[in-house]
Structure 1
Amino acid sequence: MKVMARSPLTRDLTPEQHAELDQHLSSWAWTESDPILLAGEEATGSYMVASGRVRVTRDTIDGREITVDIAAPGDVIGPLHTHPSQVEDSAWAMETTCAFFLPAAALAKVVEEYPPMALAMLRMQQERLAQAREREIGQSTRTVEQRVAAVLQNLAAKLGQEQGDGSTLLQVRLRRDDIAGIAGTTLESASRVMSKMKRNGLIDSGREWVSILDHQGLAELAQAE
């Protein structure tokens, strides 16, 4: 119930509707590095992350695998369709992860019965398209510094935990190449930019962790002309 109350797909439903939707859900769990979805396969539904973190990846035309998103509790991964459809991006458990599976057939029925969920589903589909478009445009119109700063801002909003000293620790095992993939740049460029941010006191970082020290400075860097 808590997961459905926070997920953008189901948070507009009433508690009674959450209880009814729960009858269509099944629970799944994976250990670290397990595949949840694999690109090219047919998905018969979507997953709503209940706990853990999920790395969403995409294969490039030259055979590389890049990270395009990090999913957290409440996020929905997989095709948002009311019929079985092909998976575009793979999803991997970054740690022990639990999720609720909503079959496409059940989603079709639920969307028919609950208009708020139909609207939420449409919004999420539009957001995914907008993010993909923004990513394409950003690669040609924004600097690497701007893109990396924006990625860190977004991850902080989704995964950040405020510390006693005012900093925000990103609660995820975050690799530099994850940041590079989401920002649409190379590992070398992302590492260089983050090292500069660290020297300038905007962030602190180590092996698979990042902490935001200066939110205002990071925001100004992301929005710099």
Structure 2
Amino acid sequence: MAINKVEFLKKLELFKNFNDKDLEEIAKYFHEKHYNKGDYLFFEEEAEPGIYILVDGLVKLLKETPDGKTIIVRLVFPKELFGWVEFGGRKPRYTYTAQAVLPSTVLYMSNQDFINLSMKYPQLALMITCDLSEKLLETYEVLKSIASGKVEERIAKLLIELGDKIGQETPEGYLVIEAPITRQDIAEMTGTTVETAIRIMSKWKKEGIIDAQRGRIVLKDLDYLEELAGY
């Protein structure tokens, strides 16, 4: 079933100040794409520039380090943007590969369509560029943090960030993260081994700091995690 692109765009902060007529025009630049679990949306070295908005599903953004390790630099949740744009053929320094973790639907706008859109809606183009640039800088910060700091600190930061993004608060004050995030994913997002991620998560579970089951992580002692993360 095709997406009602106008109704979907209305739900995004970037498009909240546009009327229906403008949104109908903007929606023409976006093309609906579907991916199965495990499909690659694009590869870092081969990717054509463009803008993606995740409609549903879950996407992970991957970066290969100089020593051949694969790191997840970001998980993309519905209504979030990813990708990049180029002006004058200049590619951003920090790009990545994108892979669907779940069956996923995106709205895609090519680089050329974005340039055309910017002629009609320069303010929107500026906001999109700023949003994408901020997220590319976050990619750099992830790579930088992996190169320094203790593993426990990095995992604590990751769990707090996930809790802030998609966590649901319980009456007890816990944060529940409902997402198909594996120990392998946690290892790849924090630049460590699966064995180390399992050891740390198991230790925290025994100490009552978290509870972890398949597809569900409960942050029970946020004060401890925030102190460990240096917040």
TM-score of the pair, normalised by structure 2: 0.82
Correspondence for 1:79? 84
Q: How many residues align?
A: 223
Structure 2: distance between partners of 1:129 and 1:94: 20
Q: Contact (CA 8 Å) 2:38, 2:99: kept in 1 or not?
A: yes
- % same residue: 26
Counterpart pick for 1:122 among 105, 129, 135: 129
Structure 1: distance between partners of 2:222 and 2:191: 22
Q: How does 1:1-225 map to 2 (within 5 A)?
A: 1=6, 3-7=8-12, 10-11=14-15, 13-16=17-20, 17-81=22-86, 88-163=95-170, 165-223=172-230
Q: Contact (CA 8 Å) 2:35, 2:100: kept in 1 or not?
A: yes
The 3-state SS of whatever aligns with 2:154 is: helix
Q: Contact (CA 8 Å) 2:73, 2:142: kept in 1 or not?
A: no
| Structure-2 change in CA distance of 1:187 and 1:15 (3 Å) | farther
Query: Which sits farther off after the overlay, 171-180 or 10-19?
Result: 10-19
Query: Which sits farther off after the overlay, 59-68 or 103-112?
Result: 59-68
Structure 2: distance between partners of 1:83 and 1:105: 11
Task: Give the RMSD, CA atoms, in angstroms.
Answer: 2.7
Q: Contact (CA 8 Å) 1:175, 1:209: kept in 2 or not?
A: no
Q: Contact (CA 8 Å) 1:148, 1:183: kept in 2 or not?
A: yes
Q: What amino acid is the match of 1:52?
A: G
Q: Contact (CA 8 Å) 2:175, 2:218: kept in 1 or not?
A: yes
The 3-state SS of whatever aligns with 1:191 is: helix
The 3-state SS of whatever aligns with 2:79 is: coil
Cα deviations by residue, 1:166-192 (Å, 9 ceiling, x for unpaired): 433223210112122222333333223
The 3-state SS of whatever aligns with 2:106 is: strand
TM-score of the pair, normalised by structure 1: 0.83
| Structure-2 change in CA distance of 1:153 and 1:26 (3 Å) | same
Structure 1: distance between partners of 2:95 and 2:30: 23
Q: Contact (CA 8 Å) 2:71, 2:190: kept in 1 or not?
A: no
1:206 positional shift: 2.5
The 3-state SS of whatever aligns with 2:131 is: helix
Which runs of no fewer than 5 residues in structure 1 stay unpaired? none
Query: Which sits farther off after the overlay, 168-177 or 145-154?
Result: 168-177
1:107 positional shift: 0.8
The 3-state SS of whatever aligns with 2:181 is: coil
Which runs of no fewer than 5 residues in structure 2 stay unpaired? 1-5
Q: What amino acid is the match of 2:146?
A: Q
Cα deviations by residue, 1:97-119 (Å, 9 ceiling, x for unpaired): 11101121111122233233233
Q: Contact (CA 8 Å) 2:57, 2:101: kept in 1 or not?
A: yes
| Structure-2 change in CA distance of 1:77 and 1:186 (3 Å) | same
